[in-house]
């Protein structure tokens, strides 16, 4: 059975954020992740992890103005200073939470920025962040997010693009965040692609497709996918990042089975 984590930005939203940690633990999770810790006090979050015997599996670098629709700033040439300040802030939280992996959202390229300029900026920013994180023993994940349904224009929308970036950066602590939901939409052939990509995968997330709900609501055969993850010898976190179709507790049959 893979090492499952709960994404608290999507699961247990029936209760207020700080109450979700205890529910995740009671449901059987040993790890949690969520989009951003920044609105909360570091010590409070660390206390919630400790009180509930949970590991912080991952969180994202600051994404720019999320509410306004920004989905990362790493590819934006006029936001490099803000990106660097975000790396510092994320590291402060990572220390406090004992978190060993951070995800860098590449962002959506505005029409005013050329593909080449966006890519160059992404390379510079990811290289910078990788070096800062390496000094602290932290891995930098790069998630490939589908640009067809959820994030049109997202710069890193295929595993191939993430791999090209990893190759260009050439640092041991940069890894692919393989989200089965996004990869099913963009590429399919999930088990075989995980087999090929395994050496570069640092973190896995999942939801069924279409709908981004729990396993069993769509087209992905999760029994086979989870068995393959075990068979491949992947030892990292596998995080439930889906919107429950009903109550969260009722959506967890995949965890019990
Ligand atoms: O897949 C996703 O949407 C997330 O992993 C994320 O971090 C950005 O929304
Ligand atoms: Mg994801």
pTM score above 0.95 = yes
Mean pLDDT to the nearest integer, 73-100: 98
Going through the chain in order, the beta strands assigned E by DSSP cover 3-7, 31-33, 55-60, 101-104, 139-143, 174-179, 201-206, 237-240
Residue 241 bears catalytic tag: yes
pLDDT at 91: 98
In tens, the pLDDT along 140-194 reads 999 999 999 999 999 999 999 999 999 999 999 999 999 999 999 999 999 999 9
Q: Is 108 helix (H, G, I), strand (E, B) or coil?
A: strand
Complex confidence, ipTM:
0.98
Domain count, the chain: 1
Model confidence at 257, pLDDT cuts 50, 70, 90, reads: confident
In tens, the pLDDT along 9-38 reads 999 999 999 999 999 999 999 999 999 999
Report CA(9)–ligand 1 centroid distance (Å).
10
What's the token pair of residue 16?
A: 């207020």
- Name the β-bridge partners of 203: 177
- Asked if residues 234 and 205 have their Cβ atoms less than 8 Å apart, the reply is no
Instruction: Residue 52: name the closest of 101, 12, 92 by CA.
Output: 12
What's the domain range around 75? 3-256
Give the nearest ligand 1 atom to 143 CA: 5
Residue among 115, 123, 143, 219 flagged as catalytic? 143
Domain with residue 34: its CATH number is 3.20.20.150
Burial code of 210-232, b = ≥16 C-beta within 10 A, e = fewer? eebbbbebbebebeebbebbeee
Residue 136 bears catalytic tag: no
């Amino acid at each position: 059975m893979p090492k499952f984590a709960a994404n608290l930005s999507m699961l247990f939203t029936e209760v207020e954020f700080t109450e979700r940690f205890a529910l995740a633990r009671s449901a059987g999770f040993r790890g949690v992740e969520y989009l951003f810790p920044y609105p909360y006090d570091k010590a409070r979050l660390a206390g919630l992890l400790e009180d509930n015997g949970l590991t912080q599996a991952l969180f994202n670098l600051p994404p720019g103005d999320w509410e306004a629709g920004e989905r990362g700033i790493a590819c934006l040439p006029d936001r490099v200073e803000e990106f660097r300040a975000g790396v510092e802030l994320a590291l402060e939280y990572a220390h406090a939470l004992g978190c060993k992996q951070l995800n860098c959202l590449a962002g959506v390229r505005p029409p005013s920025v050329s593909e080449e300029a966006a890519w160059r900026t992404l390379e510079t920013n990811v290289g910078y962040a990788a070096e800062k994180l390496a000094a602290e023993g932290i891995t930098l994940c790069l998630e490939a997010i589908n640009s067809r349904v959820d994030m049109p224009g997202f710069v890193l929308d295929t595993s191939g693009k993430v791999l090209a970036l990893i190759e260009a950066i050439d640092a041991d602590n940069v890894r692919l965040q393989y989200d089965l939901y996004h990869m099913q939409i963009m590429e399919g052939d999930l088990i075989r692609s995980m087999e090929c990509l395994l050496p570069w995968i640092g973190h896995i997330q999942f939801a069924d497709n279409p709908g981004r709900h729990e396993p069993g609501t769509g087209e992905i055969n999760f029994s086979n996918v989870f068995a393959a993850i075990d068979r491949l010898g992947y030892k990292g976190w596998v995080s439930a990042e889906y919107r429950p179709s009903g109550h969260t507790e009722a959506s967890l049959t995949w965890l019990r089975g």
